[in-house]
Structure 1
Amino acid sequence: MNRVTHSPAQPWPSALLFDVDGTLADTEGVGHRPAYNDAFAEFGLTWHWSAELYRSLLVVAGGRERLHYYLERDRPPLDGQADAAARDAAAWVDAIHRSKTRHFEHRLAGGAVPLRPGVARLMREAVAQGCRLALVTNASRPSLDLMRRHLLPSDLQAAIAVTACGDEVGAKKPAPDLYSLALDKLDLAAHQCLAVEDAGSGLTAARAAGIACLVAYNDDTVGQDFSAAALAVDHLGEPDTPAARLHGPELAAGHVRFIDLAGLLG
């Protein structure tokens, strides 16, 4: 496949590849985790995923996979659900996950999960310079569609050129498959793109695909190893909400601007 080559007159990324959960918004802390707890209550389960417990489960990619891992690792009480779980564990977990998705959508639709600082601004700056946008996520297609519809303003929904989601590949992040798929869909080379991630697993996936990565970490990922990132900040920032830089180039304006991204490629 012939890929578009970078113009010498355009030193900036040809595409920004955004992770979704934890990167666009704090979907984990104020979206997914309470939605899981709502689903557990709906099923009559006494389980409760605290922030600390949930953080330990985030090492597993994918919601259904995370539920199976919790069942195997923690052996929680089944609270009257033992027969259903024994008949078909996969179907039972799938039913809980569908309930969680309904509760998650309710939270999204109610505005409980705002975009993180600087996300909309940086996306619009990129689009204004002719840069394409992609969403690259471990989430399933239904979950991705929900988040795209409820998190992004209409102009940015329309600006997303490509999506790559977990049910389109054989291995989720930290494997590079999703980023390789996004490059194929964009018809771009890795050195022309910049990934925007929040976690070490996403950083590993991007770098394994040869893509430079900007990390905007959060409360669930702070403390992870981001030494392979071209730039690591606590969020992208706004003119009135400066970003704190962990490492990488100084932020001339105190927040991450599209014009600052050329030096991050490679």
Structure 2
Amino acid sequence: MTLKAILFDVDGTLADTESLGHRPAYNRAFRQMGLGFRWGPKLYRKLLRQPGGRERLRHYILKYQPDLGTHRAAVDADLDQWVAEVHALKSKYFRRFMRRGQVPLRPGIARLMREAHDAGVRLAIVTNASRKTLNPVLKFIMGPALCSVIEVVASGEEVGHKKPAPDLYRLAMARLGLTAADCVALEDSEMGLRAARAAGLPAVVTVNDDTREQDFSGAALVVSSLGEPGAPSCVLRGAGGPLPWVTLDTLRHLPVPVTA
């Protein structure tokens, strides 16, 4: 393929923000508000099937019917308003975790971004997260040098339908002025893969503990990480055999999707 741009998902792809940032931040917010429940890893993996943080909170309240204690009246009066308040508190703790440097980039992310930029391959961020949630990730995890090579950002509040709908990928490609034949998506989840495929994009999936058991049929390549010296990648699915890490050449030789 002609590789002109790489489109990066954020949570779970750039960094393990779900397990190291978002879930602990939710639990800190629940404790601060005097709520008796906590989200463990197994439950959180189920909640990740929802397309965003507010959606996860709302789904949890409606499906699991937790004991809300003194919050019951507020939830009954206006669930969406209560969810917004919890999410705002969670976001404060999430930014604090980012600022403290508790969530590093996954292996190979910085390497591939630099290699792509040096080769004239354009870079975009495509995420269900809001720009407000995304900003601390860009500022504190990626830093100014890597942020400067990101040309386009497409975030969740800009579209009517988040992933697994293709809207965000289509928005990013429109801003780049490119087609799916020119781009590769990097994802970590089945939801993100479905969005990329619906937009006609070949996708590389880098699994993590929250997603490794999901269905990645349709991915061009599934790996443990992008890999780098000292932290090699392991191919879990796809052609090409063993490789020390995912390179621009790896991406150029991905099979092009037959259907969108």
TM-score range, shorter chain: over 0.9
Offset at 1:111? 0.8
For the Cα contact (< 8 Å) 2:208–2:224, is it kept in 1?
yes
1:133 aligned counterpart, secondary structure: strand
Check if 1:208 corresponds to 2:174.
no
In the TM superposition, 1:89-238 aligns within 5 A as 89-238=79-228
Contact 1:13–1:265 at 8 Å: present in 2 too? no
Tell me, in whole angstroms, the C-alpha distance in 1 between the residues paired with 2:157 and 2:255.
Answer: 28
Kindly indicate whether the alpha-carbon contact (under 8 Å) linking 2:234 and 2:243 is maintained by their aligned counterparts in 1: no
- The residue aligned with 1:3 is none
Change (3 A) 1:150 1:251: farther
CA RMSD of aligned residues (A): 1.2
User: 5+ residue gaps in structure 1?
Assistant: 1-10
Q: After the TM superposition, which residues 247-266 of structure 1 pair with which residues of structure 2 at under 5 Å, given as runs?
A: 247-250=237-240, 253-264=243-254, 266=256
CA distance in 1, matches of 2:228, 2:150: 22
2:69 equivalent among 64, 70, 79: 79
Q: Which deviations, in whole Å up to 9, do the C-alpha atoms of 1:194-244 show, x marking residues without a partner?
A: 000000111110011011101101100002111211111011111221111
> Which of 26, 38, 46 is equivalent to 2:16?
26
- Structure 2 letter corresponding to 1:143: T
TM-score under structure 1 normalisation? 0.93
Length-normalised TM-score, structure 2 = 0.96
Query: 1:130-161: CA deviations, max 9, x gaps?
Result: 01110000001111122111111321101110
Could you tell me which of 42, 45, 70 is aligned with 1:52?
42
Q: Aligned equivalents of 2:46 and 2:227: distance in 1?
A: 27
Structure 1 residues 252 and 89, CA gap change in structure 2 (3 angstroms): closer
Q: 1:152–1:251: structure 2 CA closer, same or farther, 3 Å change rule?
A: farther
Amino acid at match of 1:106: R
Contact 1:127–1:159 (Cα < 8 Å) also in 2: yes
- Give the whole-Å Cα distance in 2 for the aligned partners of 1:223 and 1:215: 12
Aligned residues: 256
Q: Distance in 1 between matches of 2:126 and 2:96?
A: 23
Quick one: distance in 2 between partners of 1:227 and 1:53? 24
Any conservation in 1 of the 2:2–2:181 contact (CA below 8 Å)? no
Tell me if structure 2 keeps the 8 A contact 1:197–1:216.
yes
2:96 and 2:203 map into 1 onto residues whose CA distance is 32
Partner of 1:62: 52
State the distance in 2 between where 1:242 and 1:141 align: 32
Q: Which residue type is aligned with residue 77 of structure 2?
A: R
Gaps of 5+ in 2: none
Bigger shift: 20-29 or 81-90?
A: 81-90
Q: Deviations along 1:35-69, whole A, 9 cap, x unmatched?
A: 00000011110110000010110111110111000
Confirm or deny: 8 A CA contact 2:99 2:136 kept in the other structure.
no
Query: Conserved in 2, the CA contact under 8 Å of 1:191 and 1:265?
Result: no
